[in-house]
């Protein structure tokens, strides 16, 4: 199995680079392509047994449509996209290859693989799936085998709701008009931790988070829930002050924890 060649489109940066390192550590030959590499994605597809798509979400559909038709049924086409329904359907529609959707639930900077979650969505074929799962199992990742629909539904909570909350905090902060250095002077440890998360989202890769939110089929529903909750908080405070809000929180705590 070690003479398998893996090609990662988008392997020059971010998650593609992370996956390239993991596979090289496992002894596989890895080729990478990006928009500036000498090796083109089409050439990579011709020399590799496994082709991985790890480009920004906005470029994923186009890359799958370009590369998918170049692969045959003995090859594996897989992706690392943070959304799963659309890329998986596109890979199935535009290629004869075996297909697997994969989403590592962490960023490229993760140092310890043990216990990190990886979602695998089986698409087509059964020859390559055990190979891929075996690599994650061997490295102590926690593999969740789910459908693309289930993945996207759960990501509407873990990513869409979560990131919307962070983005709302950042946007509301900027609307207050208070300068950052004044806010910092009065900050608490919890507030500093939250501000670090806002800074990461707003300055490191805002495009990725915007695409994760815009591309999830459940985002409208999550936005409705978010708006509803804010209205409920206002109503509870107006009618019952702190008791109203405390009651809401205690009721929710019983449901969640
Ligand atoms: N970052 C995360 O925390 C994270 C976590 C899990 C999953 N993901 C998923 O991983 C995928 C990649 O995200 P990332 O954060 O790793 O992105 P990234 O850091 O921006 O890296 C994207 C890579 O794709 C290449 N690229 C961009 N456009 C391309 C195109 N049209 N054709 C070929 N290559 C292209 C880039 O190289 P050039 O610019 O040189 O072309 C680069 O190598 C996304 O689907 C994302 O949802 C990300």
Does the global pTM surpass 0.85? Answer: yes
Ligand 1 site-directed mutation target among 8, 15, 21, 42, most atoms within 8 Å of CB: 15
Query: CA–CA separation, 81 vs 59, rounded Å?
Result: 11
Token pair for 241:
């002050």
Instruction: Print pLDDT tens along the chain (257 aa).
Output: 669 999 999 999 999 999 999 999 999 999 999 999 999 999 999 999 999 999 999 999 999 999 999 999 999 999 999 999 999 999 999 999 999 999 999 999 998 999 999 999 999 999 999 999 999 999 999 999 999 999 999 999 999 999 999 999 999 999 999 988 888 899 999 999 999 999 999 999 999 999 999 999 999 999 999 999 999 999 999 999 999 999 999 999 999 99
Residue 153 DSSP SS3: helix
Please name which of 217, 215, 165, 212 lies closest in space to residue 15, comparing C-alpha atoms.
Answer: 212
Could you tell me the distance, in angstroms and rounded to a whole number, from the CA of residue 61 to the centre of ligand 1? 13
Query: CA–CA separation, 148 vs 145, rounded Å?
Result: 10
- Cα angle at 182 between 179 and 183, to 5 degrees? 85
Please name which of 52, 49, 67, 71 lies closest in space to residue 8, comparing C-alpha atoms.
Answer: 52
- Residue 72 half-sphere exposure toward CB, CA atoms < 13 A: 5
Could you tell me the distance, in angstroms and rounded to a whole number, from the CA of residue 208 to the centre of ligand 1? 9
Token pair for 44:
């990579």
Looking at ligand 1, which atom is closest to the CA of residue 32? 43
C-beta of residue 109 within 8 angstroms of C-beta of residue 204: no
Residue 178 DSSP SS3: coil
Could you tell me the distance, in angstroms and rounded to a whole number, from the CA of residue 218 to the centre of ligand 1? 23
Query: CA–CA separation, 230 vs 196, rounded Å?
Result: 24
List of residues 6+ apart from 184 with CB closer than 8 A: 192
Looking at ligand 1, which atom is closest to the CA of residue 62? 31
Q: How many CB atoms lie within 10 A of CB 169?
A: 16
Query: What string of DSSP letters covers 98-118?
Result: EEEEEEESS-TT----TT-EE
């Amino acid at each position: 199995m070690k003479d398998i060649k893996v090609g990662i489109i988008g392997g020059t940066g971010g998650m593609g680079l992370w996956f390239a390192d993991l596979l090289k550590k496992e002894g596989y030959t890895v080729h990478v392509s990006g928009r500036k590499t000498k090796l083109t994605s089409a050439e990579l597809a011709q020399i590799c047994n496994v082709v991985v798509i790890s480009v920004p979400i906005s470029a994923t559909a186009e890359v799958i449509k370009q590369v998918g038709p170049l692969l045959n049924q003995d090859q594996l086409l897989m992706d690392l996209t943070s959304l799963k329904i659309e890329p998986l359907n596109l890979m199935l529609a535009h290629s004869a290859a075996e297909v697997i959707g994969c989403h590592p639930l962490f960023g490229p900077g993760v140092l310890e693989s043990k216990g990190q979650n990886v979602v695998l969505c089986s698409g087509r074929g059964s020859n390559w799936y055990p190979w891929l799962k075996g690599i994650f199992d061997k490295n102590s990742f926690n593999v969740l085998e789910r459908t693309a629909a289930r993945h996207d539904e759960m990501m509407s909570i873990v990513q869409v709701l979560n990131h919307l909350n962070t983005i709302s905090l950042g946007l509301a902060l900027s609307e207050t008009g208070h300068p950052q250095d004044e806010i910092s002077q009065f900050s608490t440890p919890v507030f500093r931790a939250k501000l670090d998360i806002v800074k990461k989202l707003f300055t490191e890769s805002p495009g990725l988070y915007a695409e994760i939110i815009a591309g999830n089929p459940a985002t409208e529903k999550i936005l409705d829930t978010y708006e509803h909750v804010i209205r409920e908080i206002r109503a509870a405070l107006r009618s019952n002050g702190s008791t109203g809000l405390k009651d809401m929180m205690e009721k929710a705590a019983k449901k969640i924890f």
